[in-house]
Structure 1
Amino acid sequence: METTTQALSLVDEAPATESFRDAALDGLRKSQKQIPSKFLYDERGSKLFDQICELEEYYPTRTEIGIMRDNVEDMVQSIGPQARLLELGSGSSQKTRILLDHLDDLAVYVPVDISRSHLVEAAEALAEAYPHIPVQPLCADYTTSFDLPEPPQPVHRTVAYYPGSTVGNFRPEEAQRFLSRLAEAVAPNGGLLIGVDLKKDVAVMEAAYNDAAGVTAAFNKNLLRRMNRELNATFDLDRFEHESIWNEEKGCVESFLRSREAQTVTVAGHSFSFAKGERIHTEYSYKYTLEDFAELVGAAGFSVETVWTDDQSYFSVQYCTVDG
């Protein structure tokens, strides 16, 4: 049986390299050096993260996939017919395929990712696997405002899909602002299908970000490699080490790059001194109780309609609707 290959048209709203330069320089000038976690996801970083998702210690992916497989019919019913599915941070799209296998009447699928090459690769694979579903890849920084491409056919509602508990990478006040923009983007009559990692035993959470094989360390240190390549930086990766620890007060796992020794590094022509043990903050991974997350999305204009969890209550997938 012949299938027609889609001619994909990439909508490119990706930020220029200059924004990475500005973020790196601004962050390294702070008393607590920091670089936003979104810059971890260049092409190599995205592929390393896909490897992390396969690790034994990294429970979120397999747990979320199990929840999706067990409850996909209910999720599809919540999304409804003729919807536009807007996936934020398309990644490898493994979880998306579980949805697309059951969304027979989807109007259009719009994967959004900041990594252009990774996005195109994933979109092409999905377009080939699902020739009956229009695919409109959008290269953009979804943490900021962006314009959706005109759909190829009328849509009944827009549903944002945000898997992987990536919402945990935002501080709570940032998460609320992000979710508020998302509520405006999917209104009226829209929804949000979102993965939310739940609070649990500290040892389980910390192990997920300190795997024995060192893949998470390579993922974190790839940020230094990226600065060397794109910003003419002089980081010696061997002189930094990966660190991830649970912060009980904040309710999150925090990731850092720790300098093994006193040193000076140049980035985009600017020099930065590091004391021995000084750290660059690279990522937050906030965990929530169901009550805390309901309060967060409620403040952003959503109402939690349905919650699906695993037997151990490690993780949740939640469907939220726009208020009003």
Structure 2
Amino acid sequence: MKQAMPVNEQQLGPNLTFYDLHPPATDMLEEVTRSLTAPRPHLHPKYFYDEAGSRLFDAITTTEEYYPTRTEAALLARYSSEIQAQLGHANTIAEPGAGSCQKVRLLLERWSPERYMPLEISRDCLLQSTRQLSRDFPEVQIDAVCADYCQALSLPADNLPGGRVVFFPGSTIGNFDPAERSAFLRGLHHLAGPGGALLIGADLQKEASRLNAAYNDAQGLTAAFNLNALHHLNNALGCQFDVNNMRHVAFYNETAQRIEMHLECLCDQELHLGHHQITLKGGTRIHTENSYKFTVEGFTRELMDAGFRPRGCWTDSDDLFSLHLASTD
């Protein structure tokens, strides 16, 4: 991998190379203190994801109400050959925020690329998932890159012909506010490089009742996932959230066209953040996540504004979810 920034390289197997870009550590205490003392208290969605949070999210994706994961998987299974025909041969698949590298498996099986480049900030997660992947796909060269999004999107282009196919599934793009989303899409354009492409999932607008149900499942898994951010902070920072007196709130904001997730204080909360002590009054809501919903036409315009040329879009029969393919030139 051509690389212009400081990097440690390790050969971990015949087809597995690990590149550590040393993603910058954030001061968790400072960040959380600043977020919770803001005029509108909020937390970054990354705090959902400790070990328990990851298990809860995996469970959420299997619930009857949560349609995005299974709908996108069905679209990929049904249309992967058609998408490949639009692309031609994919030399390299790059996946920012690859996590467990599960969704890309179908593309590795059906497209047989020369190279797969997962980009992930969690070193342990990246090492665990790619070691297994390298055994399952011995003909694919895996270049595992430990980096944050900023570093990942600044990577120089490969020397291979055809650029990279950037794979960004799961409607994660909906977690970005519009200005952030515009900048992020431009970063994906840079990551794909000349002659490259983007295959991206986007959740579609639909009736509010369907969306509200997806984020308020009957088993209470999404509520537990949201509340787990507080357990995570209690364990990591000793914040002393009284989690039993916090309530999961999720609703579709039709004006903003997004699901909002909040945590509401049911009583006053005295929090300990290092040497600081802050009070959150009963009724205060901590904003934990947005999930924007799109139209095919609207998201296509956003791709074009970021410099992409639309090549195709695939949706399910109920128009719940969309897969978009776009090229960089």
Taking a change above 3 Å as real, the CA distance of residues 52 and 113 of structure 1, as seen in their structure-2 partners, is: farther
1:137-216 correspondence to structure 2 within 5 Å: 137-142=144-149, 146-148=153-155, 154-216=160-222
Structure 2 match to 1:133: 140
Structure 1 residue 181: Cα displacement: 1.5
Structure 1 residue 173: Cα displacement: 1.4
Count of equivalent residues: 317
Which amino acid in the other structure matches residue 204 of structure 1? Answer: R
Whether 2:266 is the aligned partner of 1:256: answer no
Q: Is the 8 A contact 2:157 2:163 kept in 1?
A: no
Whether 2:111 is the aligned partner of 1:103: answer yes
- CA deviations on 1:30-64 (whole Å, 9 max, x unpaired) are 11101222333334333322221111111000111
Out of 5, 14, 19, the residue aligned to residue 23 of structure 2 is: 14
Q: Is the 8 A contact 2:90 2:165 kept in 1?
A: no
188-197 vs 142-151, which moves further: 142-151
TM-score, normalised on structure 1?
Answer: 0.90
Whether 2:147 is the aligned partner of 1:112: answer no
Out of 80, 85, 94, the residue aligned to residue 77 of structure 1 is: 85
Q: Is the 8 A contact 1:41 1:114 kept in 2?
A: no
**2-side partners of 1:157 and 1:175: how far apart?**
22
Secondary structure (helix, strand or coil) at the match of 2:40 reads coil
Whether 2:66 is the aligned partner of 1:58: answer yes
Structure 1 residue 146: Cα displacement: 4.9
**2-side partners of 1:150 and 1:182: how far apart?**
12
Which amino acid in the other structure matches residue 16 of structure 1? Answer: A
Structure 1 residue 150: Cα displacement: 9.0
227-236 vs 273-282, which moves further: 227-236
Structure 2 match to 1:235: 241
Out of 306, 310, 315, the residue aligned to residue 309 of structure 1 is: 315
Structure 2 match to 1:36: 44
Structure 1 residue 11: Cα displacement: 2.2
**2-side partners of 1:144 and 1:275: how far apart?**
39
**1-side partners of 2:218 and 2:303: how far apart?**
35
Which amino acid in the other structure matches residue 114 of structure 1? Answer: I
**2-side partners of 1:47 and 1:141: how far apart?**
22
Structure 1 residue 156: Cα displacement: 2.9
Structure 1 match to 2:231: 225
Q: Is the 8 A contact 2:75 2:315 kept in 1?
A: yes
Structure 1 residue 121: Cα displacement: 2.2
**1-side partners of 2:24 and 2:52: how far apart?**
18
RMSD, aligned α-carbons: 2.2
280-289 vs 32-41, which moves further: 32-41
Structure 1 residue 145: Cα displacement: 5.3
Taking a change above 3 Å as real, the CA distance of residues 115 and 99 of structure 1, as seen in their structure-2 partners, is: same
Q: Is the 8 A contact 1:43 1:115 kept in 2?
A: no
Structure 1 residue 77: Cα displacement: 2.8
**2-side partners of 1:149 and 1:301: how far apart?**
17
**2-side partners of 1:154 and 1:144: how far apart?**
20
Give the unaligned 5+ runs of structure 2: 1-12
Whether 2:128 is the aligned partner of 1:121: answer yes
Which amino acid in the other structure matches residue 268 of structure 1? Answer: G
Which amino acid in the other structure matches residue 97 of structure 2? Answer: G
Q: Is the 8 A contact 2:153 2:188 kept in 1?
A: no
Give the unaligned 5+ runs of structure 1: none
Secondary structure (helix, strand or coil) at the match of 1:213 reads coil
**1-side partners of 2:35 and 2:155: how far apart?**
30
Out of 29, 32, 41, the residue aligned to residue 24 of structure 1 is: 32
TM-score, normalised on structure 2?
Answer: 0.89
Taking a change above 3 Å as real, the CA distance of residues 155 and 242 of structure 1, as seen in their structure-2 partners, is: farther
**2-side partners of 1:51 and 1:62: how far apart?**
12
Structure 1 match to 2:6: none
Identity %: 36
Q: Is the 8 A contact 2:203 2:322 kept in 1?
A: yes
Structure 1 residue 206: Cα displacement: 1.1
